[in-house]
């Protein structure tokens, strides 16, 4: 853990401030946080605001090795005060540095006797398999690509630290490509539940304007998979009654 600071010039309103940078790498160096901003006092209330960077590193292959390859990185603008910590204009980059998957959003951590977090992300199209395979070889290659991406997703979720406080994650994707099938307008609402993720709401539009909705549990680790707690409708056209679950 490192702290460095210096006096800074007053802002536009004439309020004096102190420049403070905090760098932390807990959990054996697999996770790091870098917060760099100004501390000001407005009517007796301290506020720290500036640039934030959070990095999750993939573990090395050797017993004592430590990889420098980021598994995921989040950057944004943070504001911290006695009430909580907010991260705005956040950008998440995950996966290969050459072709990362990115999403934008915001996050909030509320302090106090009942701490609570909330995360909202709007992502790009997510591809878990190759679309358009027609020949047998192409299909086999597509199946391999899908399996590799699914394994990568499993590893990513397994290494993500599980929140130890209540909270909610809202994710919106314009499209999710699963092999030859494209799901559009994907919405996921999830919250941590012990060692897994409780999916409180899931909806997506499949080809033919089929709407799929449901909820369940996304298990991590060796039991990786989704278990529906309410039936997912096989087909549901807009305007049809939604009575499943």
Residue-wise pLDDT for 190-233, tens only, equals: 999 988 899 999 898 988 888 888 899 988 877 777 888 875 55
| pLDDT at residue 70, rounded to an integer | 62
Extended beta strands in 179-224, E state: 181-193, 196-206, 210-219
CB atoms within 10 A of CB 28: 9
pLDDT band for position 135 (50/70/90)? very low
Q: What's this model's pTM, rounded to 2 decimal places?
A: 0.75
For 172, the 3-state DSSP assignment is: strand
For 63, the 3-state DSSP assignment is: coil
Nearest to 85 by CA among 122, 114, 113, 116: 116
DSSP per-residue letters across 92-159: EEES-SSS-EEEEEEEEEE-SSS-EEEEEEEE--EESS-TT--SHHHHHHHHHHHHHHHHHHHHHHHH
Long-range pairs of 54-63 with CB within 8 A, sequence gap ≥ 24: 55/31, 56/30, 56/31, 56/159, 56/160, 56/161, 57/29, 57/30, 57/31, 57/32, 58/159, 59/30, 59/159
Read off φ and ψ for residue 120, nearest 5 degrees: -125, 125
Pairing of strands 66-81, 167-178: unpaired
**pLDDT tens-digit map of 100-133:** 888 999 999 999 999 999 999 999 887 765 444 4
- The H or E element containing residue 81 is strand 66-81
């Amino acid at each position: 853990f490192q702290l460095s600071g210096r006096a800074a010039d007053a802002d536009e309103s004439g309020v004096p401030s102190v420049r403070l940078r905090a760098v932390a790498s807990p959990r054996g160096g697999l996770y790091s946080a870098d917060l760099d901003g100004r501390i000001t006092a407005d009517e007796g209330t301290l506020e720290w605001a500036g640039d934030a960077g959070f990095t999750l590193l993939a573990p090395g292959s050797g017993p004592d090795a430590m990889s420098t390859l980021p598994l995921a990185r989040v950057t944004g603008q943070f504001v911290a005060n006695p009430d909580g910590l907010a991260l705005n204009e956040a950008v998440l980059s995950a996966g290969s540095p050459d072709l990362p998957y990115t999403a934008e959003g915001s996050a909030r951590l509320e302090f106090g006797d009942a701490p609570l977090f909330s995360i909202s992300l709007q992502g790009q199209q997510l591809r878990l398999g190759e679309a358009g395979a027609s020949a047998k070889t192409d299909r086999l290659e597509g199946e391999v690509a899908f399996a590799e991406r699914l394994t990568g997703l499993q590893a990513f979720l397994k290494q993500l630290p599980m929140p130890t406080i209540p909270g909610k994650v809202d994710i919106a994707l314009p499209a999710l490509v699963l092999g030859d099938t494209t799901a559009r307008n994907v919405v996921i609402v999830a919250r941590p539940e012990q060692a897994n993720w409780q999916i409180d709401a899931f909806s997506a539009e499949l080809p033919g304007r089929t709407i799929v909705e449901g909820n369940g549990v996304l298990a991590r680790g060796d039991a990786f998979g989704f278990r529906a707690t309410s039936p997912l409708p096989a087909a549901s056209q807009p305007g049809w009654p939604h009575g499943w679950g």
